[in-house]
Structures are given as C-alpha cells and as structure tokens.
Amino acid sequence: MRRTALLATGLTLATLAATTGCGVFDQPADIQVYSARHYDVEDAFAEFEEETGKSVEFIFDDDAVLLERIKAEGEDSPADVYMTVDAGNLWNAAEQGVVTPIESSTLDEAVPEGYRDPGNSWFGLAMRARTVLYNPDAVDPGEFDAADTYRGLTDAKWSGRLCMRDSSEAYTQSLVASLIDLYGREDALALVEGWLANDVDIMSNDILLIEAIDAGTCDVAIVNHYYVARELEEKPDLDVELYWASQEGAGTHANISGAGVVESSDNKADAQELIEWLATTGQDDFIGGNHEYPVNPEVEPDDLVASFGEFTPMQLDAQAYGELNAEAVDLLAEAGYE
C-alpha cells in the first residue's frame, strides 16, 4: 500500500461575513446553528434571513466536536440546530438525545422516508454519492463489475492502478460500514484486504484523487461525486469520468448531510422553520454551491450534476452507519488500511 500525504487546513469556529448577517454568536440572533457542513451554507443562511427577516448565526467544526460541545453545554447551549454531513452522525445525535423529534408535515412531504429519522429527530437535506472515478484514456468502463463494482476492484487487473481516501475520513468509514452491513464483517474485511493487495495509493482528500486520475498517476479512484463536479466547474477539460457503481446490484453508496432541532433549544419553532426552508424553498441554495443532490424529489439537481446521468443509490441505513462505525474503523485497522 502506498500513501500520499497532504498538510490539511481546516475551518474551525470561523467568523463569516457581516454582509450576510451571519457570525459566530458575537450578537444575539434568532437561530444559532452548529454546523459540520461548511460548503457555502452561509449563502443559504443569508437567503433565509432575507426571506424571513430572522437572523442566523453559526459556527463550524467537526461533527464529533460539535456534538460533544452541545452535550457539555447542556441546557445552557446556545445551539438551536445541529447540522452534520454523515448519516451515522445524525443517527448518533438522535441516539444520544442531542436532537429532538418534531412534527412537520412540510418535512414529511419534502424528505423521503429513507433520508430521515423514523422518529423525526433529524432530516436529510442533501445527498452525495461515493462512486468510481476513472481515466477514460486508461480504462474501458466495460472493465468494471456492474453488479458489484466495489468488490470488483479487488481483481488483480487493478493492481497498481487504484487510489483511495484515507481511513480517518468519515466517507471511507461509512462506505466500509455499508459494506459490513451488506456482506458481513468477514467478507467486508476480505474486500478491503483485496484493495490493499492491489497496492492501492492512499491519499488524504478527494481533490488529490481527482488530480491523480487526471494526471494518469492512478486509473481508478473512489470519490464523492460533488468533488468531481466542483473540480470540473473550474477545470472542464479534466480527463476524468464517473462510473455509477453496482447498478446491476446493490447500487451506488450514498450518504447525506442533514440537520435536527437541538433538544435543549429554547427556540425550537424558528429552528424547525429553518430546516423546513432548507428542505423546500431553500433546497437550490443549500445544494447549489456544493453540487450535491437534492433530497426533495420535487427539486432538480444543477445542470453539471445532472450531466452525470441518473443512477440507483444503495439503500441508506443511518443506524447501520452509526452502529457499525467503530467496527468499520477496527476493520480498516485490522486490514492495515491507513
């Protein structure tokens, strides 16, 4: 196994523009958001403020950090909305009682059952697919196993041709959790070991993976679709193509970003209104800057994402992603996947 390293920078407790009316709780606001999703959400919040006249303040940090912060703050927490980027994290927040059930016919209609908590403690707002990216100069898409694409990458023909994301990333962990749920631990471990046997090059972010495919350093990678869309928006001549994994089988691995009303919030009505707006009127604003798929079936994806074509997603099981996360981390370590 090879590993490509990158010094990463993060946005933590970021102060965002006075022109949007959004900040980091420096002045009282109507709605306070703790968000692990930091892709252009300030534009959506600003639009909500303009349409409703209700102010939004927010901070960014990692999912687990924000979850622990809300728990530590207890009843004194200023947070009204918890927003995160992984279904397992949403399930975990509900399991720990950080987000609370709400009754909303608007959300019931806007968010399909598969993308919301059965107890209505959280709701998906955007969907992302983690699928195969390839260099069309080096790969004939007919080479992929259409029934079981992720397992197909264990075939020896892909030796020295694979790039993948590191094990510390939630995207990798949720993908492996879904494979454990789908196949069982023993078969999922064999699958990951099969990737490693093909001398996979481990990289620290999806942008590096895309650049490696374009440069011919790797022929195939597993990436989130929206990273590809963002790169193509800036560099339309990239020599990369998406392949929708396992379309003749279980479907392409999917995950969501979503939100819930914080249990300790003293402004649950406005918090609920913001989530409802993001799932309906604000769907385009919420997903557009990051090229995600809308969860609301009445909203179309943007033109660039639509150009990738339609696909069938794998059934999303937030409970499995949450409950099996620790096992996925353990499996990756056992396999030697860094």
Measured CA to CA in angstroms, residue 153 lies from 69, 75, 214, 227, 289 at distances of 40, 49, 19, 21, 31
Residues 82-138 have pLDDT tens digits of: 999 999 999 999 999 999 999 999 999 999 999 999 999 999 999 999 999 999 999
pLDDT band at 7 (very low <50, low <70, confident <90, very high): very low
- CA-closest candidate to residue 102, choices 261, 244, 251: 261
Looking at residue 38, its pLDDT comes to: 77
Q: How many CA atoms lie within 13 A of 227 on its CB side?
A: 19
Domain residue limits, the chain: 2-127+254-301, 128-253+310-335
For residues 151 and 162, what is the distance between their CA atoms, to the nearest angstrom? 13
DSSP single-letter state for residue 247: T
**Best CATH choice for the domain 2-127+254-301 from the list 2.60.40.420, 3.40.50.300, 3.90.1010.10, 3.40.190.10:** 3.40.190.10
Average pLDDT of the chain to the nearest whole number: 91
Query: Long-range contacts: 273-277, Cβ < 8 Å, 24+?
Result: 273/52, 273/54, 274/31, 274/33, 274/48, 274/54, 274/56, 274/80, 274/81, 275/81, 275/104, 275/107, 275/123, 275/125, 276/104, 276/106, 276/107, 276/110, 277/48, 277/51, 277/52
Q: pLDDT band for position 27 (50/70/90)?
A: low
Q: Establish whether domains 2-127+254-301 and 128-253+310-335 are of one fold.
A: yes
Q: What is the pLDDT of residues 265-312, one digit of tens each?
A: 999 999 999 999 999 999 999 998 899 999 999 999 999 999 999 999
pLDDT at 14: 33
Specify the pTM: 0.89
Q: Which of 112, 104, 187, 110 is nearest to 151 (CA)?
A: 187
Asked if 88 and 170 touch (Cβ cutoff 8 Å), the reply is: yes
Q: Mind listing the pLDDT tens digit for each residue in 33-70? A: 999 987 778 889 999 999 999 999 999 999 999 999 99
Give the right CATH number for 128-253+310-335 from 3.40.190.10, 2.60.40.10, 3.90.1580.10, 3.40.50.150. 3.40.190.10
Dump pLDDT digits (tens) for 139-150: 999 999 999 999
Q: Quick one: pLDDT at residue 288?
A: 82
Question: Any residues with CB less than 8 A from the CB of 32 and at least 6 apart, and which?
Answer: 25, 56, 57, 58, 78, 79, 80, 81
d(CA 7, CA 9): 7
The reported pLDDT for the residue numbered 1 is 65
What is the C-alpha separation between 163 and 4, in angstroms, rounded?
10
